[in-house]
Amino acid sequence: MDAFADPTLLVNTKAGTVRGSRDGNTHRWLGIPYATPPVGELRLKAPLPVQPWTGVRDALEFGSAAPQEPTKVIPLPVGVEINEDCLNLNVWAPPRAEGDTRQRPVMFWIHGGAYFIGFSAQPVYNGRALAETGDVVVVTINYRLGALGFLDFTSFSDPADPFDSNLGMRDILLALNWVKDNIAAFGGNPDDVTIFGESAGAGCVTTLMTMPSAEGLFHRAIAESSPATSVYKPERAALVAKAYLDLIGVEAKDAAQRLREIDAVTLAQQTTHLLDYVATTWPGTVAFAPIVDGDLIPGYPVAAFRAGKQIKVPLIIGTNHDEAALFKMMKSPLMPISESSINEMFELVAKDNPKLKNLEPGIIAEYPDFPKQKGGMEIARDAGFRMPSIWVAEAHSKVAPTWMYRFDQAPPLMKLLGIGASHATELPYVFGTLPDRLSEKKALQFRLGGLKEARQISQRMMARWLSFARTADPVTVDSETGQDLAWPRYDELSRSTLIINGTDTIENDPDGDIRKAWGEEVLGFK
C-alpha cells in the first residue's frame, strides 16, 4: 500500500495534517516544520511556533539543513538543500494496529557538529533501527547553527528591535514543545521523552539540563562526548561576534541592518575562518557555543550541576577513548594538540581563573607522551570532553541516577592508522546504522575486518540506550548466556564506568591518577 492510500500514514498535528511513508516496517514523517521560518525580520530572533496549514502536507523528504559551509566530511544527501528555512524535524514510529492506543517512549536526537555544521538527514541518524528494535518513537531535528544560531549579536542590535540570544538553543526548546503538543498523535508519550545528543548535540543536552524553561519537557538524558564547559559569558561572546563582523566586512554600527540584509549562505561562508581564528587565538575554546545570558541560560552549566540547580532526571554520560584523533585527521585546530597550543590553553585558563594557575605542571606530568603528539591528543581529549563529563557525572550522581561509559571500540584498520575510538565513532553503533552486507566492502573502516564484532557491540549499545529510554535502567542481556549485563550507577566513591569494547566490562575510576591530577576545580573558560 502506498503512502497516498494508507490512512495510518496520515497524522493530525496541531498545525495540520501530515502524510508520511514506510521505511521497511517503520512509519516515518520527514521534514515536518516545527517553527515559522526564521527569515527576514525573524532572522536572529527567537523562533515562533509554526503557522497552521490547510489540507494534507507531504512529509516524505528531509527538510532543508541549516545554513553552513558544505564539507566533504558531512556531504549533503541527494535532494537535501541548505536553506535558512531549516526548522524542521523527522519522526520514526512503529506501525500501530487498529485499536492500538499505546503511547511509546520517545527518543529526541540533537545532532553534533561544533555548533556550526551538521543536519538530521545524515544517514547515520536514521531512526528506523531504534524504532523497530526498541518499540520507541524517534525524533531527529534541525536547528540554527553557526552565525545564525550560536553567535551572540545582542550587543550589536538595534535597541528598538533587539536580536535574541542563544537562538539554536531556543530552536531546540521549541522543538521539544512541539513534541509535547504533537507526539501523542504519532504514538509517542509526551511524558516519557529521552533527549540524547553527541558532541555539540551533547553540549546542548547538558545545557538544557540547566535551563529552567526546559523543565518537564524531557525525563531522561544521554550525553555522548559533551563539551559541557564550552559555554561562555556575554563579554567573550561579543568579542567573537565582533571578530566575525570583521571577517564579513561589516562595521559594528551597521550590524543591526546588515546582518538582516546579507544572504544566509553568504553569512555561513566565513564560519570555518572564524572557527580557526578563535581556536588559534584562544586555544581550547570554540567560536560557536551557548552563552550565559542570564535569561534562557542563567549560569554556567557545570556550575549549575555542582550547585544542584540542574533538572534532576536520570543521565547517561560518557566519552570516546581517542576523541582528539578526528581533529588531527581533519587537520583542524579546534582541539589544541601541539605543545605550544596546549601551554597557551593552560595560560589562558589561569588568566580566567587565577587560583588554577599552578595546576599545569601536575596535570602534564600524568601524560608521559607529552609533548609528543600522542600526549597532546590525550590532554586535549581530557580538557575538552572527558573531564567536563566527569565533573557533570560527579555532581549529577548526588541528585539523580547517573551512569558513565567510555567507548573504546575501534575496527582493526582504525587502530592500525592510530585513529582508534575517535570522536563520533560510536554513532552508527547507537543508531544501528553500521554497514550492511551489501555495503560492507565500501566501508573503509572495516577493510581489515571487525564488522561482525561491531554489530554485536551495536546490539548491546542499542539495547542499553533503549532500555534506559523505556525504564531508566540501561541493562541488557548477554545473547549467549541470557544473563543480565548490569551497569552499576556512577558515584564519587566507586566511579563505576562501563567500558564498551569487544566485551562490556566495568572499571572503577579508569585513569584515576589523571582524573586526580586535574583536581576538584572546574577548568574552563568564561
Give CA–CA dist 153/285, Å, rounded.
18
**DSSP 8-state class, residue 51:** P
Q: How far apart are CA 336 and CA 38, in angstroms?
A: 35
Which of 497, 289, 284 has the alpha carbon at shortest distance from 394?
497
Task: Pick the catalytic residue from 226, 394, 423, 496.
Answer: 423
Q: Which three cell numbers stand for residue 220?
A: 531522561
CA distances from 266 to 136, 239, 258, 314, 406 (A): 39, 21, 12, 42, 39
Q: Give me the DSSP letters along 108-138.
A: EEE--STTTS--TT-GGG--HHHHHHHT-EE
Does the annotation mark 323 as catalytic?
yes
236: cell is 567573550
On the CB side of 257, how many CA atoms lie within 13 Å of its CA? 3
Using a 10 angstrom Cβ sphere, with 0-12 exposed, 13-18 middle and 19 or more buried, the burial of residue 342 is buried
Between CA 403 and CA 424 the distance in angstroms is 19
84, 132, 323, 366: which one is catalytic?
Answer: 323
Contact call for residues 21 and 9 (beta carbons, < 8 A): yes
Residue 22's contacts (CB-CB under 8 Å, 6 or more residues apart) are 3, 6, 9, 28
Looking at the DSSP assignment, which residues form a beta bridge with residue 108? 139, 195
- Tell me if residue 132 is catalytic: no
Question: Which is the catalytic residue, given 21, 64, 120, 199?
Answer: 199
Active site residue 332: no
Catalytic residues: 199, 323, 423
